[in-house]
Structure 1
Amino acid sequence: MARVLVVDDATTVRMYYRDVLESAGFTVEEAVNGFEGLEKAIAQSFDLLVVDVNMPKMDGYAFLRQGRALPELRAVPALMISTESAPQDRVRAYAAGANLYLVKPVQPQTLAEAARVMAGAAS
């Protein structure tokens, strides 16, 4: 079973992602900001990172930049999801290390399918 780390400061968003991803067959762990996410990502093994942009302590961009600098996280696929929808937000996300950028709100089917493809999980 593929493991996903959801990094988002909003409890309701984490609950929504957990519900969608667990229904799609994933095991889900959560972190409330980039700092906690980085600690969990280093300590455990994940098949996918689902990351918000705007968070306290460490935002999603810093989380991805720091994660990509570490050998153990360099190859873990990262899906960044944000309310930020300007073209430069996508550019920043990809420059930080995101593999895919989606704008909130993300439909359940879109999230589940993107997670399956990115984590290499069978549909």
Structure 2
Amino acid sequence: MSYPEKYRYAKSHEWVELDGATATIGITDYAQSSLGDIVFVELPKVGQELTAGSTFGSVESVKAVSDLYSPVTGTVTAINEPLNDAPDTINSDANATWMIKVETKGADDLSSLLSAADYEKFVSEETGH
């Protein structure tokens, strides 16, 4: 599995890419692999306020429903509408499939997130591989 260096990672298996004050958020390759075939994605509405660590939606697969957690605090500015009709896009390329964009309140949000190497180590400790 690959974890792009340009992203920061939450232990709840979301990735975030910061561009100025805009955070683009998706789920990791490990998360989509663990879930299996994704059949439904529930995303927040544009304008919704999020707090780091709070749920912003869910992903439903053939195996389970999993909550999605925001790695940052801010306001949702965009959602990836095509996921409503094609949630399996996440299975095809989790690293390139964003879910939401958030206007953050401050760059210090990312200090608690993991680098790609640290996330990979976290996953291997969690799975025992």
Which one has a bigger Cα radius of gyration? 2
| TM-score where L is the length of structure 1 | 0.30
The structure with the largest helix share of the pair is 1
Ranked by relative contact order (alpha carbons within 8 Å, sequence separation 6 or more), the top structure is 2
The structure with the largest strand share of the pair is 2
| TM-score where L is the length of structure 2 | 0.30
